[in-house]
Amino acid sequence: MDFIRNEFKEAVQRECRELGTNCRISSNILKNMAQFVILKGEVIRDMIKSHENYKIADCMIFVENKHSIICLVELKRKKTDADEVVEKLTNASVLSIEILKMSKIQNYDMIHIAVAKNWRRAEHRIIRSRKIIVQGRKYPVITGKCDDDLYNLILKSGISPF
């Protein structure tokens, strides 16, 4: 975690929040249980030049306790386009794997999360049915609402954070 925090300090955030959307996910429960760092997706994308034209998820959260968990989070306020969410989460996955290689973290779980202020039933169903495919592995998209706690979203994925 120290490597990621130091190497990408311009992208470090205190919470996963998208300005202007009034949407965020809380990390209150996690603060007492694990070491983690939250990176702003767009800032990281611009720092790693090979990805500067990608659409990317809003936050990349690296959690370290007994094992590593990478949470890629897309925050939505109004219009939620399933294809765009999948594209942003996929691009964030590729970028986070590069960061993991740089930091020499080899064993990790990856969680893809889409959070919205209000879900339209059709879009919610479509997003939940989609899979993010990265390096031949299929990952589900976990959905939540603004202000959900990251700890609970991790549990919802079926991965134990501890």
Give pLDDT, residue 76: 85
CB atoms within 10 A of CB 20: 7
Task: Render pLDDT for 97-141 as a digit per residue (tens, 0 to 9).
Answer: 999 999 888 889 999 999 988 888 888 899 999 999 999 999 999
Joined together, the tokens standing for residue 7 give 């190497």
**Cβ contacts of 25 within 8 Å, gap of 6 or more:** 15, 16, 59, 73, 75, 113, 115, 144, 146, 147, 148, 149, 150, 153
The single-letter code of the amino acid at 16 is C
Task: Render pLDDT for 12-22 as a digit per residue (tens, 0 to 9).
Answer: 998 888 776 66
Give pLDDT, residue 94: 92
Answer with the residue of higher pLDDT: 86 or 31.
Answer: 86
Task: Render pLDDT for 28-50 as a digit per residue (tens, 0 to 9).
Answer: 767 766 688 999 999 988 888 77
Pairing of strands 35-40, 137-145: unpaired
Pairing of strands 35-40, 12-13: antiparallel
Question: What percent of the chain is predicted at pLDDT more than 90?
Answer: 42
DSSP for 56-103 reads --SEEEEEESSSEEEEEEEEESS---HHHHHHHHHHHHHHHHHHHHHT
Please tell me what DSSP assigns to residue 26. B
Give pLDDT, residue 147: 85
Question: Three-class SS of residue 49?
Answer: helix
For the whole model, what pTM was predicted? 0.91
